[in-house]
Amino acid sequence: MINISLLNNVNTVAFYLIAWEIIKQNRQVKLDSDKYIKELTIQLEKKVSRIPFIGRLSSCKNRGSVGEYFLAGRSMNFILVGAPLFASNIGSGRFIGLSGFGASSGIAVADFEIGAVHWLMVLGWLFVPIYMKAAVFTMPQYIKMRYGGERIRVYLTCLALMLSIFTKISVDLYSGAIFLQQALNWNLYASVIALILLAAFFTVGGGLTAVIWTDFIQTVIMVVSAFILMIISFVRVGGMQQIRNLFPYALAYTTLHNTTECGVPNEYYFSLIRPFDADLPWFGILFGHGVMCIWYWCSDQVIVQRALAAKNLTHARAGCLVAGILKLLPLFLIVFPGMIARILFPDEIGCADPDVCYQVCRSRNGCSDIAYPLLVLRLMPNAIRGLTLACMIAALMSSLTSIFNSSSTIFTIDIWQRFRQNAHDWELMIVGRVFVMFLVGISILWIPVIRAAQGARLFDYIQAVSSFLAPPVAACYLLGILWKRINEEISGLTIFDLDNPEKAIEIPTRPGCDSVGIVFYLKTAFVWICGLEKPDKLDGQSTCSDSHPHDNTSNRRNSTSIREEHVSSWHKECSYVAIIMLALSAFVWAFFTDYRIRLN
């Protein structure tokens, strides 16, 4: 039988080649030509409109049961685990956010990417064995199995769906809209609706199998095109040393109130480790970022679902290694090009006057988020520019399909099955597909909010939401795995209770350029996890109670073992490579750190 899902992948590759050929056919036409833009738009629309119908054919393969639809039959090798892990995280929001933050503040934003390497190893060697042993589909399902109650499971289910709709989907749509507006002058609403519908067809058509294969192809395209742009950018600016020399002087000609106080790059722009009073203090990165990573990399449905699709534990661990290797690349592929964009186009990327910024990017709060699209449009050769355009569309599609599939899995398993406990597999798969279309509708309704929110650094928004919500959830998963005697009551306190709620509120303390003030959100992350220090609210009940529902005892014991039952012949090699990866990430951190910085 022909693997229909492969037709979906071939069609995806064909789309990229079509975009490339369209650019080559018009390579003699200038970029700002209305004729060129119109021709490119018409041809792309014709080709894109055919993709969903081919994508729907993938529903004929790997969708016969709930396990096949939501976890790809647990049959993926380590390459098809690692590449989707990377693609699910590095969407268009990451391209826009990392490059924009790099253009405004320097390389410290790469801490989030390099630090993820360590937590991918924790995912593969600590969390995934337990999740596989528990044989769960979703993370709230594991919480129910571990603690025995329904309250935390319901809370985490609702939280995951809300975050998917109002942060992940909205961020990807906003960043994708930025690129399409800069590249093709497409109407915001029309382009976003088209992209959402296309992503929904991919997801509905073939389940996680189609999503993983699509993510794999798109990862290759993203890395290749970003690597080409990186080489061109470095050659144009003159190399790494020139970035270090020129970046602090990349100032806009027109500044706010005719001064140079605003729009000046951070003085620690070329150091991954920054002082305590900087935008990204070392204390917040060391403690707060680790807590966030436990939530995102080790317990978020979008990420963990890819690892659970592996054929065995060794392939899951090797997939985490592949993703870890790829996570070392954004510093060079995205952050440095963002800094180069500011060096080459300081009046646009570094604008500080609200009126000037509005003329450049239709935002009065700054234009750093257009750094990567501007670099693509002005540096890339015409033939490769089409491939890069397809790359950014691929990044957006990759993120949206991942979110749609994971959200439908959570809704089907953790909400629908609560009301329909005896539902058949075919019913659950239909419900999952219908819920994807519901997400599409909510996402379209969210477009006006995205449009109104343009201007601020996108990466700030992403990290702010994570910093406020991640720590207590991370504590529930981490303590549930490491401490067998913790029960639902004390874990519930971690989420719902704080000794001093005002400590978790964002307090503006530092004046900015023409703004009320900003505060570094990660400083509150460590305070949130301190919610564990309140056992007296249990009215005399022991916080270490080992009482659990009788039917949950065996599952709870099984879910705390990390031993692999069927050991692969190359499992030791994975551990050796993991140690090398940890050492390599530490070397990158040490190499790009200014040791003259005082940490206090």
Retrieve residue 242's tokens. 């020139």
Query: DSSP secondary structure string, 46-109?
Result: HHHTTHHHHHGGGGGSS-SSHHHHHHGGG-B-HHHHHHHHHHHHSSHHHHHHHHHHHHHH-GGG
pLDDT computed for residue 188 by the predictor:
65
Average pLDDT, consecutive stretches of 10 residues, N- to C-terminus, the chain (600 residues): 38 47 46 48 46 43 51 75 88 84 92 93 94 86 83 80 76 75 70 72 62 76 88 94 93 61 80 80 83 89 88 92 95 96 92 82 80 90 74 71 79 84 83 83 70 56 72 85 78 53 50 42 43 38 39 47 62 90 93 76
For 318, residues 6+ apart whose C-beta sits below 8 A from its C-beta are 78, 81, 82, 574
Contact 303, 409 (CB under 8 A): no
201 found inside a domain:
yes
163 found inside a domain:
yes
pLDDT computed for residue 599 by the predictor:
64
192 found inside a domain:
yes
Q: Which of 123, 74, 122, 126 is nearest to 562 (CA)?
A: 126
Q: Report the domain count for the chain.
A: 1
Residues 323 and 121: their CA atoms lie apart, in Å, by 10
Phi, then psi, of 548 in degrees rounded to 5: -140, 160
35 found inside a domain:
yes
Residues in the chain: 600
pLDDT computed for residue 244 by the predictor:
93
pLDDT computed for residue 278 by the predictor:
66
What residue numbers bound the domain in which 320 lies? 4-57+67-466+572-591
Q: Which long-range contacts (CB under 8 A, 24 or more apart) does 259-262 make?
A: 261/513, 262/352, 262/513, 262/514
Retrieve residue 98's tokens. 């990392």
Task: Please give the DSSP secondary-structure letter assigned to residue 27.
Answer: T
Query: DSSP secondary structure string, 258-311?
Result: G-SSSSPPPTTTT-SSB-TTSSSBHHIIIIIHHHHHHHHHHH-HHHHHHHHTBS
Residues 520 and 598: their CA atoms lie apart, in Å, by 18
pLDDT computed for residue 321 by the predictor:
95
State the DSSP H helix or E strand holding residue 516, giving kind and residue range, or none if neither: strand 515-518
Q: What is the CATH number of the domain that holds 138?
A: 1.20.1730.10
Residues 91 and 29: their CA atoms lie apart, in Å, by 30
531 found inside a domain:
no
pLDDT computed for residue 585 by the predictor:
94
503 found inside a domain:
no
Determine whether 569 is exposed, middle or buried from the number of CB atoms within 10 Å of its CB (0-12, 13-18, 19+): exposed
527 found inside a domain:
no
506 found inside a domain:
no
Q: Which pTM was predicted?
A: 0.76
Cα 362 to Cα 181, 348, 357, 370, 558: the distances in Å are 11, 12, 7, 11, 55
